[in-house]
Structure 1
């Protein structure tokens, strides 16, 4: 008997006949399948009917269905909705992103969502780019207020305006709304932030908020910061990537998070606040009340000076576990500052990403020396896209040979490594390493020949 639980057939050019065969096969043994992803196939109304026959089956226990970018129209949505209404209790995640639904399709879906027997928890990535109008938002919001099981909602890519946010706000303000994750990557500005912040202040259940790729800048961040400062706010993860945030926005965020230190993850990548903004964040990190565990600062126009501020702050507060500094102007001097932090006997950093910076062999030497002094915590290190030659790889290889080194994942993509560097790494693959990325380097057959013998070694742990 087949016990398949996950079936992925994305972008497989499935035809009507293929859907019929698949549906028939799964109806013969439907009770084990939990995840089905048919995204990026051109599913016609006829094919949707075949799929619906499976979903209607009383023994179908499907929990996750992916139909992103399948050219599903309003009529297809009606067929799908009808099937789920007949067997509504199991599906928890539905992805209908980037389909051809318009107002009628959203109304059909909303009628399903309003059914109290339908327990959908994730509609995230799920209505992106479906051209939802202001009126559609009102209908959707009303439906979800009737059925408060939803935990994740993604409305990105629907040209969100302030008026649309006002339509969805009654859902967020509803006392029975248990939404824990909201994703709204679009192009709304300061006014939209005010509407959203006001609604979320009425609902303290939210734990994750992703407003990346919006255009609200420092003024919008000031509004979001006032929400974060509210002692009722229990937000744990905030993503504000590429939001035109400058130094002032960093100052507002830092001040708010000192008032309410519940946040555990903060991603500000792709903003141009530079060293002055990092100084504000460093002052926050130095506060003993700050419990931030993950910080993303990729492509923020920061340099070695910022590394010094971060290193100093994190020696005062050792809660941080993950730090992302890729695509910045960090040289060996900045790497030396970070290495001094890693030497700290109480440093608990487990993941460091510093891809596509300006680190050379000298930076590798400082890093390797630091990790030999305090080798037990770092699990993931990504130095891809830096100018590291075989000499730098030799430094890292010496580190990996240390039995106390617990590094499990190492990224060295596009680092000018040749056959000699590959040979040095091959001699260390009996370490704790689980993943090694050597893509886009310069070694040829002689370098690759070093690897098979090591991979055959029973002590090698590479996956």
Structure 2
């Protein structure tokens, strides 16, 4: 390097450095000194034009400090130096501008007053741009300028990878580096003129900087004010048009806000502009598309194009799961939507009561019903700024992915940053106003113990713990108690979360009939094709019911679309006259009408598609890979036995599937692989839907028999397997295994397994199943075996499933027998066998007509009939079971249906000998939140105060639905009345009508009832006919009736041993302003004319009474 000095004379330096890249550094607000290679003496005037082509060069920060900064060279104060320098050093870099008022040491110096114009070309390998420095202390620089010096710098950057060239505020185009050197030298050759121009230059520069910062600060202010649309636009603009000068303005703002102790404003601005925006962008990219069913590689659909609103309801069943999810679908599909309380997905955390806060929501739904899709839509609405913008951060954490972190020790913040790297540096505890939502999707897939009772307490989000400890403390509120939690699960796993930690229970019902049609119309743009598919699905009751599940809609659409396309291809090659043939007009064997036929078609189609994809050709005949299907079937069968839907590499390897080649099976087993931003969350596998897993498992059982000549159920048995087992024996074993299940998890497997033995279904699987079809003798034998099992009185749910099995096997004999009985009206007088009772229930359940009212007397007055038809009763709105000789024996069945999914609004059990024990059992169902019964009639059921106590406890647990309670003819005694009235005083109890006639009540009971009438009770009608209340009892009642809180409109006191004295008390009530009475029945009491006269005096203008009965 060469260096020239001149005293008050211009001098020029030229440097040439050869390098290839320039990298920009971050702004530096440090006040520490930095070393440099050149220093200009304070007071010198330096005009510099620099050309930089370095790969790693960076710009040093602006230094506003008042102290010296060391440098390699210095310029004497006051000197004017015009320098054009060529530097070939490997480590040259451009030093920061120094606005300090003190001297900075340098390797070379220029005297004060010198004018230096420098044009430098830099191509160093390691040169770099230092960050802006606004500190008050020394900062090193390549050149140091003494106080009073003026530095004008023009920099030309020509490297391949350089970034952030200086802002150009000129109105003219920038010239080349060479021309700029000449121009600058000529422009500033006249020292006096140059100095005269500087004042104007810097005034203009000051105005531009001030205007720019004012504009940015105004934007920042509006962002902090949450100024609606403008706020979103500013945040978007900042991130989409991000540049170093905007980032520097933000850093300046944050720095000064924190120096002013305005930490909340600084944190909020940083969160909105950086963390929240980046998280929303990440979630949008991840969740905007949906892979419906089995997506081909790279094939996805925008969520908004296919999303159909799902029906989400308040509350869910607390019963033990005793039925297969498909049966739950079959039951709920008959429910009356008007009976349920719908909840909008976007308003899950809005409490119905203002004083109640909802922190944790648990949403359940059967497999494939749309839980994850609902989560996806919820996230997208937030990320796109449409809904729930009061939530600051949303963190979806699927259990299937968290399972892979099971053995790791990590803090909550570690867990968040591993799943969302863009949140690194975020501090969730620094502000109390944060609103954070954690979405824990797929609780049923969780392989953690979730030991809420035994795990240690953790309250520090930075403290490492096991994943199980983290999640339990997050849910129970020890970690981030202000955070919102949304958990989704299948019904069987809902009990993993203690109910005390759940503020709202919801359930996804899937598609209504209208939504099923809407789905197919969205799925198919061809209206005629959509209509044809909808019409066919509606013709098959079992298929239309299953379309309640969105995934089954996709399966059906896939199959029918393929069938239509194949038929049209064939018809195109045949006679033109047949080209209009539709699904309904096609051959019966070609079009699926049962579940087994649907899934068989689906399997064949997927295998054909797989061959077309991998072999490049399509053939109508399926070419089976038996080994692959056996391996896949083994996985399906053994995981079904364990009730697992999600599998990992170890599960695949246990079934002989090489995890690295699992994509071969992806035509039926969806591989879910997560690899985002360089972090591999892990690999998980699952079947598209549980029903597909059950179908493949059933197919495997047949293949296993083909290959090994023995039963698949004998694999883990200690008994020696029969090496020549006949198919019919295997079918019987499957029936027995399914009936042994407590929760019915093998019910659908059994339907598929039995149906796959039929020749009509095996025809589609030709080439795969080689064993002989079930012959006519075997067919009759297995049908008879199922009917014998029905005679053994299995549970109603297992019985219904056996009828569905017979339906899949095309045996309608039992159903036809019952239909014959129904047509003749002979059911009520004749005795039915257990299998016929089951068939009757099946016929009623699969009827096209919606069951408004069920009347037990039309069938048979017995406990057995009620128990057998309980599954039918739960689908009706009104159940009339009065006068049917029922006893305590039938009450457990009633309790089960009340506590499960049901449509009941009215239950009449009048005049049955239930006794206290029976009423207690009924109340165990009545107290369940799922029970939405509005009218309960229990008159003359032979129960006492124990029964009343049970009813009081049930109303305390579930007070929101029952509005009418008839207890006539049952003696509560004093204690029973006390128990009941204590509950009814609570304003949350909705009971409006209470009948206590013929209950042996006395005047002492009236004292308690008077307090009830003067409370916050919602009671509007009270019937106390035929009780020995006497005048003293009425006196007590009138005290309550005069209370301003009393809302009673109807009071019945017929035949209560009253005299004219009671009339005086009642007249004072009628004449009071607070009275709400509209109907008063005093008939069959000895009132005399004098009593009636007293009453008439109370009937004045203020009186609201509309009806008075007083005949004797």
What band does the TM-score fall into relative to the shorter chain?
0.5 to 0.7
Q: CA deviation at 1:276?
A: 2.2
CA contact (8 A) 1:133 1:164 kept: no
Of 384, 390, 401, 2:1083 maps to 384
Q: For residue 431 of structure 1, what is the aligned residue in structure 2?
A: none
Q: For the structure 1 residues 361 and 200, does the alpha-carbon distance in structure 2 shift closer, same or farther, using more than 3 Å as the test?
A: same
Once residues 131 and 279 of structure 1 are traced to their aligned partners in structure 2, the CA distance between those partners, rounded to angstroms, is: 44
Q: Is the 8 A contact 1:217 1:245 kept in 2?
A: yes
Query: Partners in 1 of 2:868 and 2:837 — Cα distance?
Result: 6
Closer/same/farther in 2, CA of residues 351 and 128 from structure 1, 3 Å limit: farther
Q: 1:389 to 1:157 in 2, by over 3 A?
A: farther
- Structure 2 vs 1, CA of residues 128 and 196 (structure 1 numbering), >3 Å: closer, same or farther? farther
Structure-2 residue corresponding to 1:165 = 866
Q: Which position in structure 2 is the counterpart of 1:222?
A: 920
1:273 equivalent in structure 2: 972
SS class of match (1:270): coil
1:232 match: 930
1:82-97 matches, cutoff 5 A: none
Q: Are the aligned partners of 2:1046 and 2:1075 in contact in 1 as well (CA < 8 Å)?
A: no
Q: Distance in 1 between matches of 2:1003 and 2:992?
A: 22
- Residue 352 (str. 1) matches residue 1064 (str. 2): no
SS at match of 2:1006: helix
Residue correspondence of structure 1 range 23-102 to structure 2 within 5 A: none
Aligned counterparts of 1:129 and 1:291: Cα–Cα separation in 2: 39
Identify the match of residue 319 of structure 1 among 1004, 1009, 1018: 1018
Q: Determine the structure 1 residue equivalent to 2:425.
A: none
TM-score using structure 2 length: 0.25
Which of these residues, 936, 945, 955, is aligned with residue 257 of structure 1?
A: 955
Matched, 1:146 2:846: yes
Once the two structures are TM-superposed, the CA of residue 407 in structure 1 deviates from its matched residue by 1.5
Q: Tell me the CA shift for residue 157 of structure 1.
A: 7.9
The residue number in structure 2 matching 1:180 is: 877
How many Å apart are 1:138 and its aligned residue? 4.2
* Conserved? CA contact 2:1053–2:1081, under 8 Å: yes
| Correspondence for 1:331 | 1030
Per the alignment, do residues 362 and 222 of structure 1 end up closer, same or farther by CA in structure 2, a change over 3 Å counting? same
Q: Residue in 1 aligned with 2:378?
A: none
State the Cα distance separating 1:349 from its structure 2 match: 0.6
CA offsets per residue over residues 278-299 of structure 1, 9 Å max, x none? 1111111122321110000000
Secondary structure at the counterpart of residue 907 of structure 2: strand
Judge which range, 314-323 or 251-260, deviates more: 314-323
Instruction: After TM superposition, give the deviation of residue 128 of structure 1 in Å.
Output: 12
Note the C-alpha offset of 1:411.
1.2
Please give the alpha-carbon distance, in whole angstroms, between the structure 2 residues aligned to 1:153 and 1:195: 15
- Cα distance in 2, alignment partners of residues 217 and 407 from structure 1: 39
Alpha carbons 1:331, 1:358 under 8 Å: kept: yes
SS in 2 for 1:316: coil
Query: Within 1, Cα distance between the matches of 2:914 and 2:858?
Result: 16
TM-score by length of 1: 0.59
| Cα separation, partners in 2 of 1:150 and 1:370, compared to 1, 3 Å | same
Deviation at 1:159, TM superposition (A): 5.3
Partners of 1:271 and 1:299 within 8 A in 2: yes
Checking the alignment, whether the CA contact within 8 Å between 2:895 and 2:926 is kept in structure 1 is no
CA–CA distance in structure 2, aligned partners of residues 263 and 200 of structure 1:
13
CA shift, 1:132, in A, is 5.7
The CA distance in 2 between the partners of 1:411 and 1:109, in whole Å, is 49
> Once the 2 structures are TM-superposed, how far is the Cα of residue 302 of structure 1 from its aligned partner?
0.7
Aligned match of 1:54: none
Match of 1:303 in 2: 1002
Q: Find the residue that maps to 2:869 and give its secondary structure.
A: helix
CA contact (8 A) 2:989 2:1017 kept: no
Instruction: Tell me: CA distance 1:404–1:243, structure 2 relative to 1, closer, same or farther (3 Å).
Output: same
In 1, Cα distance between equivalents of 2:925 and 2:946: 17
User: Do the aligned residues in 2 keep the contact of 1:212 with 1:242 (CA within 8 Å)?
Assistant: yes
Aligned to 2:908: 210
Shift in Å at residue 187 of structure 1? 1.8
Structure 2: where are the runs of 5+ without partners? Answer: 1-815
Q: Check conservation: 1:129, 1:157, Cα contact below 8 A.
A: yes
- Aligned residue number for residue 84 of structure 1: none
Pair 362,128 (structure 1): closer, same or farther in 2 beyond 3 Å: farther
Question: Residues 152 and 132 from structure 1, CA distance in 2 versus in 1: closer, same or farther, beyond 3 angstroms?
Answer: farther
Deviations 1:236-293 (A, max 9, x none): 1100000011000000110011000021110100112222211111111122321110
Summarize deviations over 1:24-78 as a string: whole Å, max 9, x none.
xxxxxxxxxxxxxxxxxxxxxxxxxxxxxxxxxxxxxxxxxxxxxxxxxxxxxxx
Structure 1: gaps of 5 or more residues: 1-103, 113-126, 415-463
Q: CA deviation at 1:375?
A: 6.0
Q: Matched residue of 1:373: which SS?
A: coil
* TM superposition shift of 1:107: 4.1
Greater mean alpha carbon deviation, residues 138-147 or residues 215-224: 138-147
Residues 110 and 144 in structure 1, CA contact (< 8 A), matched pair in contact too:
no
Displacement after TM superposition at 1:205 (Å): 1.8
Q: Which has the larger radius of gyration?
A: 2
Distance across 2 between alignment mates of 1:331 and 1:371: 19
Following the alignment from structure 2 to structure 1, what is the Cα–Cα distance between the partners of residues 858 and 1068?
47
The answer (yes or no) to whether the contact 2:996–2:1024 under 8 Å persists in 1 is: yes
- Deviation of the 1:169 alpha carbon: 1.9
Query: Does the 8 Å contact 1:213/1:243 carry over to 2?
Result: yes
Over 3 Å counting, the alpha-carbon distance change for 1:108 and 1:356 in structure 2 is farther
Alignment partner of 1:292: what SS? Answer: coil
When residues 411 and 166 of structure 1 are mapped into structure 2, their CA distance, relative to the original with a 3 A threshold, is same
Q: Which residue of 2 aligns with 1:340?
A: 1039
The corresponding residue for 2:1071 is: 372
Partner of 1:65 in structure 2? none
1:254 to 1:128, Cα distance in 2 relative to 1, 3 A: farther
Residues 192-203 of structure 1 aligned to structure 2 (within 5 Å) = 192-203=890-901
Q: Is the 8 A contact 2:928 2:958 kept in 1?
A: yes
Distance of 1:143 and 1:228 partners within structure 2: 28
Q: Cα–Cα, structure 1 residues 362 and 228, in superposed 2: closer, same or farther, change >3 Å?
A: same
Q: Name the CA shift for 1:105/1:303 in 2 (closer, same or farther; >3 Å).
A: farther
Residue 162 of structure 1: CA displacement? Answer: 2.8
* More displaced stretch, 276-285 vs 301-310: 276-285
Classify 1:276/1:106 alpha carbon distance in 2 versus 1 (closer, same or farther; 3 Å): farther
The yes-or-no answer on 1:396 pairing with 2:1088 is no
* CA 1:288–1:376: 2 relative to 1, 3 Å: closer
Question: Cα–Cα, structure 1 residues 202 and 128, in superposed 2: closer, same or farther, change >3 Å?
Answer: farther
The 2-side partners of 1:251 and 1:132 are apart by 40
Displacement of 1:134 = 4.0
Relative to structure 1, the CA distance from residue 163 to residue 130 in structure 2 (aligned partners, 3 Å threshold; closer, same or farther) is: closer
